[in-house]
Chain A
C-alpha cells in the first residue's frame, strides 16, 4: 500500500552543524512532496516543497533533495539553530489528489 516513512525517529545535532532528515516513500505515483515542521502543541508549518520534475530545491537555510529512483526525500538544514528543534514530517501527494500522506516524523534536537 501507499506509505511514507522516516528512517530516524530522533536526530540530535549541535548548534551550528548541518542536519539531514530523511524520508522514504513507496507510492511511485507521488509527484509532490512537502516538508513540515511541527513544534509542540502547534500545527504543521510549511518549510519547503518540491515537485517530482525536480531533484533539488533550496530555500533559506533549507534544501530538499528528491531521488525518485530510490523513492527517497531528504531535508537539509544548514547551520542548525535551537529554534529548529521540532518534529519534522515529510508528506506526499499525487497529481491533483486532495490528500497529503504524512510520514511518522523525526524529532530534531539541537544541543548547545
Chain B
C-alpha cells in the first residue's frame, strides 16, 4: 500500500539551529500538509501546499517556518531558528484531491527535540 515517508525519524538539535524535515508524499497525490503534535497533545495543523504554493497556514506557521517542494517527490519543512517550544512530532500528510471526502494519509512522523 502506498505510504507517506518521512526522514529523519528523530532529530535532536540545539536551540537556534536550522532544521529541515523531509517527506515523500504518496506519488499521485497533489495536496501536501504539515501537522505537529506536542507530546500528549492533539495534532495541530501547520500548513497546506498545492500547486507549488501555500494554500493555507495556521498561526503557528510563522516566519521561522517555510515549506518547499524542491523536486517532483520531496516536500520539506524548514525551521530557521529552532526554539525549545518547537519540540514536537511533525507529521507530513498528503491527499490526492481536495474534494470533500478524499482521505488524508499521514506519515509516521519526525520527532524533533530542541535542547
Which residues of chain A have a CB within 8 Å of any CB of chain B? 31-32, 34, 36, 41-46, 49, 51, 89, 91, 93-105
Question: Do B56 and A97 touch across chains, with their CB atoms under 8 A apart?
Answer: yes
Which residue from A32, A91, A101, A104 sits with its C-beta under 8 Å from B101?
Answer: A32
| Structural contact, A44 and B106, CB atoms closer than 8 A | yes
Interface string of B92-115 (1 = CB under 8 A from A): 000000111101111111010000
B45 and A49 within 8 A (CB): no
Asked if residues A96 and B44 are in contact (CB atoms below 8 Å), the reply is no
Return the contact of A93 from the options B4, B55, B58, B100 (Cβ within 8 A).
Answer: B100
Q: Does B84 contact A (CB under 8 A)?
A: no
Q: Are A32 and B105 in contact (CB under 8 A)?
A: no
Contact B56 A99 (CB under 8 A): yes
Point out the residues of chain A lying under 8 angstroms from B4, CB to CB: 43
B100 touches A101 (CB 8 A): no
A98-B56 in contact (CB<8A): yes
Task: Contact check, B45 vs A99: say whether CB atoms are below 8 A apart.
Answer: yes
Binding site for A on B (CB under 8 A): 4, 31, 33, 35, 41-45, 48, 50, 55-56, 58, 91, 98-101, 103-109, 111
Contact B101 A51 (CB under 8 A): yes
For residue A100, which residues in chain B have a CB less than 8 angstroms away from its CB?
Answer: 35, 43, 45, 104
Q: Please, how many angstroms separate the alpha-carbon atoms of A95 and B107 in the complex?
A: 24
B48 surroundings in chain A (CB, below 8 A):
98-99
* Contacts A44-B43, A97-B56, A98-B98; A49 near B50 (Cβ below 8 A): no
**Cα-based distance from A99 to B101 in the complex (angstroms):** 12
- Nearest B residue to A96 by beta-carbon distance? B98
Chain B residues whose CB sits within 8 angstroms of the CB of A31 once the complex forms: 100
17 contacts between A and B (CB under 8 A): A32-B100, A41-B109, A43-B4, A43-B106, A44-B43, A44-B91, A49-B103, A89-B42, A91-B43, A96-B99, A97-B56, A98-B48, A98-B55, A98-B56, A99-B48, A99-B58, A102-B43
Point out the residues of chain A lying under 8 angstroms from B101, CB to CB: 32, 49, 51
Known A-B contacts A42-B108, A45-B106, A98-B55; the reply to A104 vs B33 at CB < 8 A is no
